[in-house]
Structure 1
Amino acid sequence: MATGQRLFVKVTRDSLPQVKDKYPFLYLERGRLEIDDSSIKWIDSENNVVPLPVATLNALLLGPGTSITHDAVKTATAANCSVCWVGEDSLLFYAAGFLPTADTRNLKQQIELAADPKKSVEVARRMFSRRFPDADLDGKSLKEMMGMEGHRVRALYQAKAEEYQVGWKGRKFVPGKFETSDVTNQIMTASNAALYGILCSAVHSMGYSPHVGFIHSGSPLPFIYDLADLYKEHLCIDLAFMLTREMAGRYNKHKVSESFRARVIEMDLLSKLVDDVAEVLGVGRASGRRK
């Protein structure tokens, strides 16, 4: 894997999880997954061969330059390890293979919470309380809390614009017309997309569904958007205004990607997310797919 700051480290025999551990996912790029004596082996771009303990994994995240044989997919499925196709460092999420034998315990909990109006609002309230730690949200309806959030975000945009001395005319994004936005909006759109990619990969690996949300609705990934709002202030909004000043009016996708990745690593988002999901759902630490 490439050098520099990365969300994921190079996979070697020494860096693999021990049998006693259960990892939510393992990210791979630039190599091939094959079968060797009924087990999966990873052959990287330098021809190093690493046996993969798929029985200890919830998901394999396949990044750029990867290929996988039919038999390797069958073996992963038999071990209850799903397969996802993602962009570099999982900053984009493309697709996931669903397992017919997957443990649906976490998904069932998520659906039960979302289907009960009272419990669903309680989950939403726990999410909003992360952004309003000093507010009394007891008895507040979802609509009221969403209204509070709208005011908070607009005020946050203005505060960041003043902090970094950046002109701000409001959040604007037109699908398919990325270049028509100003630099601040372009950075925010790109970093949002990267955050959604990471969250999609992680949510799938923990056995939850991106499609069952508690605040957002009428969108393809409501649970992802729910979770993203817990992290956007630092990872996306503050980053956008800071980089706008540094870029002096010229959008630089490499700078955006590097800066976003650095903040994700600093926050330790991948570890933090597991505990955050359990907390907002009120179900205890996420258990993964297997019992």
Structure 2
Amino acid sequence: MTNKFGAKKPELPELTRIKDRITFLYFEHAKLNRQDSALLVTDSRGTVFVPAAIVSVLMLGPGVDVTHRAIELIGDAGMGVVWVGERGVRQYAHGRSLNHSSRLLEAQAKLVSNKRTRVAVARKMYQMRFPNEDVSGLSMQELRGKEGSRVRGIYREQAKATGVLWTRREYNPDDFEAGTPINKALTEAHQALYGLSYSVIVAMGASPGLGFVHTGHDLAFVYDFADLYKAEFSIPVAFEMAAKYGNDKDIATKTRLAMRDVFTDGKLLVRMVKDLKDLLNVDDEINNIDVINLWDDKLGLQKFGVQYHELDQDEEI
């Protein structure tokens, strides 16, 4: 039942699992409001209703006006938000994690805080790029060099297959329009992949800043995670768009739409959820129920919501 304040906040079991959601939606020059449990999106063409629980990430472009009520719904539904600025500059934001368990975050923090386990996870990520080779004995320096060679080879192969002129990757975050068509397409494709990666990481309750290969940035793990999929998704799409549309002024928009299609067709959300849990060694279903305990160095986990006294007596609070 609804009231003048909108629908009640949905319970966790009612929210669509992250792997089953729509990958992302992009809006620009629009106003976002809330009606019940849906986003009310209005622009010059009219109004549409978007059920909040089915969307993974919103890409909000120039001219978007968002109400407080809309942001509240976005946070409750665990949607990621990517604020897309002009000339390809992005700022990232997100609502509360869809998964209220801290198990994934604790596992990530433990793995990244130990040199041996951090290297092991990094090797696991590189192993995903080289499935037919054993990289378990390679150092981080050797792995970086091997990966650099692989990516350069992918660029050359895509250029040859599509006929797109390729020299090198150039990206000026302060001047998107100065780039060549292929570099514009690559920027747009990678940013869409970063947005989806970011959304999955935070929705699952992990930290976007605790990277294993990248470090020192609040999106370090986003870059780690997205790099696993560039060769299959963003790079081929970018070359295809550059070959098809060349100097078309809308190449960024066309690339973004193409990325949305390949995300869906390739069932990338399902893969990302599985891969994230595999990387962090959380192989069972994560409990989404709101459970909170108190930590004790000698007694282990203790009951929350209890007023403890100096003696053994305690009472509910």
TM-score range, shorter chain: 0.7 to 0.9
2:298 is matched with which residue? none
Contact 2:57–2:196 (CA under 8 A) maintained in structure 1: no
Distance 1:272 1:17, change over 3 A: farther
* Change over 3 Å in CA distance of 1:259–1:51 after alignment to 2: closer
Deviations 1:26-62 (A, max 9, x none): 889865346xxxxx6436459999998x8xx9x8969
* 1:152 and 2:150 matched: yes
The answer (yes or no) to whether the contact 2:155–2:235 under 8 Å persists in 1 is yes
Gaps of 5+ in 2: 1-9, 85-89, 291-317
Counterpart of 2:190 in structure 1 is 192
| Whole-angstrom CA distance in 2 between matches of 1:43 and 1:194 | 21
Tell me the equivalent position of 1:131.
129
Residue of structure 1 in register with 2:67 after alignment: 67
The Cα offsets for residues 82-140 of structure 1, whole Å up to 9 and x where unpaired, read as: 5643459xxx76322458x9532211111101111111111111111111011111221
Rounded to whole Å, the distance in 2 between the matches of 1:288 and 1:47 is 37
Aligned to 1:280: 279
Contact 1:84 1:97 in 2 (8 A): yes
Cα gap change, 1:50 to 1:230, in 2 (>3 Å)? closer
Once residues 246 and 47 of structure 2 are traced to their aligned partners in structure 1, the CA distance between those partners, rounded to angstroms, is 43
Q: TM-score, normalised by structure 2?
A: 0.68
Letter in 2 for 1:141: S
Give the distance between the partners of 1:256 and 1:227, measured in 2 at CA.
21
1:42 is matched with 38
CA drift of 1:243 comes to: 1.7
Task: Please list the CA deviations of residues 250-290 of structure 1 after superposition, one character each: whole Å capped at 9, or x if unmatched.
Answer: 35222212211111111111222100111222221562654
1:32 aligns with 2:30: no
AA at the equivalent of 1:153:
V
Native 8 Å contact 1:123 1:282 kept in 2: no
**What is the distance in 1 between the residues matched to 2:218 and 2:104?**
20
| Residues paired across the two proteins, number | 262
1:107 match: secondary structure? helix
Structure 1: which 5+ residue stretches go unaligned? 1-15, 35-39
Distance in 1 separating the partners of 2:174 and 2:114: 37
User: Following superposition of structure 1 onto structure 2, how do residues 260-271 of structure 1 map, counting pairs within 5 Å?
Assistant: 260-271=259-270
Q: Structure 1-normalised TM-score? A: 0.74
Q: CA deviation digits over 1:160-187, x for unaligned, max 9?
A: 1111122111111122122222111110
Amino acid at match of 2:136: D
Q: Which runs of structure 2 are paired with 1:232-251 in the superposition (5 Å)?
A: 232-251=230-249
Give, in angstroms, the shift of residue 232 of structure 1: 0.7
Aligned match of 2:253: 254
Identity of aligned pairs, percent? 28
Q: Match for residue 305 of structure 2? A: none
Partner Cα distance (1:161, 1:62) in 2: 29
**Alpha carbons 1:85, 1:93 under 8 Å: kept:** no
* Partner SS state of residue 141, structure 2: helix
Q: Note closer, same or farther for the CA distance 1:120–1:17 as it changes in structure 2 (3 Å cut).
A: same
The 1:102–1:151 alpha-carbon spacing in structure 2 relative to 1, beyond 3 Å, is: same
Cα RMSD over matched residues?
3.9
Instruction: Give the conservation status (yes or no) of the 8 Å contact 1:104–1:289.
Output: no
1:106, 1:206 within 8 Å by CA — same for their partners in 2? Answer: yes
